[in-house]
Structure 1
Amino acid sequence: MAVPKRKTTPSKRNMRRAHDRLSAPAYIEDADSGELRRPHHIDLKSGMYRGRQVLEPKD
């Protein structure tokens, strides 16, 4: 069985883990309503998606 010859330093360990963090979710401002929404998702307030009425708007 393979066994490490030397202890991994904290610097090398942290460099390896540098990409394991969670990324913040992306939000964009809707051009029509000005509300924040996720990209490629329906604006639930107005019911619009890519310039088309998809859902009935909420009151």
Structure 2
Amino acid sequence: MAVPKKKTSPSKRNMRRAQNSKIAAINIIENRLTGEMHLPHHITETGYYNGKQAVTFKAKAQEDTEEQEENA
């Protein structure tokens, strides 16, 4: 059975534990076209990825009218 040879001081113990609590800085980049900030390798809220329109969204007005037509 493994047994420590000497007692670990509270200072050494706390210094060891402190390494686990370090938080890495979040890497946020700016979109070249819109200037919007987003995470790397993710699309922006407007649907751009790598300077190109990756996803197109329906206009909000079109969605509302389509929902009203379906419910009627």
Percent pairwise identity = 52
Residue identity opposite 1:5 in structure 2: K
Q: CA RMSD in A?
A: 2.2
Q: Partner residue of 1:56?
A: 56
Does residue 16 in structure 1 map to residue 16 in structure 2?
A: yes
Structure number with greater Rg is 2
Q: TM-score, normalised by structure 2?
A: 0.58
CA-CA distance at 1:57 after TM superposition? 5.0
Higher helix share: 2
Count of equivalent residues: 58
TM-score (normalised: structure 1): 0.66
What residue is the counterpart of 1:34 in the other structure? 35
State how far apart, in whole Å, the 2-side matches of 1:24 and 1:58 are.
35
Q: What is the CA-CA distance between 1:33 and the residue it aligns to?
A: 1.0
CA distance in 1, matches of 2:42, 2:52: 12
Amino acid at match of 2:25: A
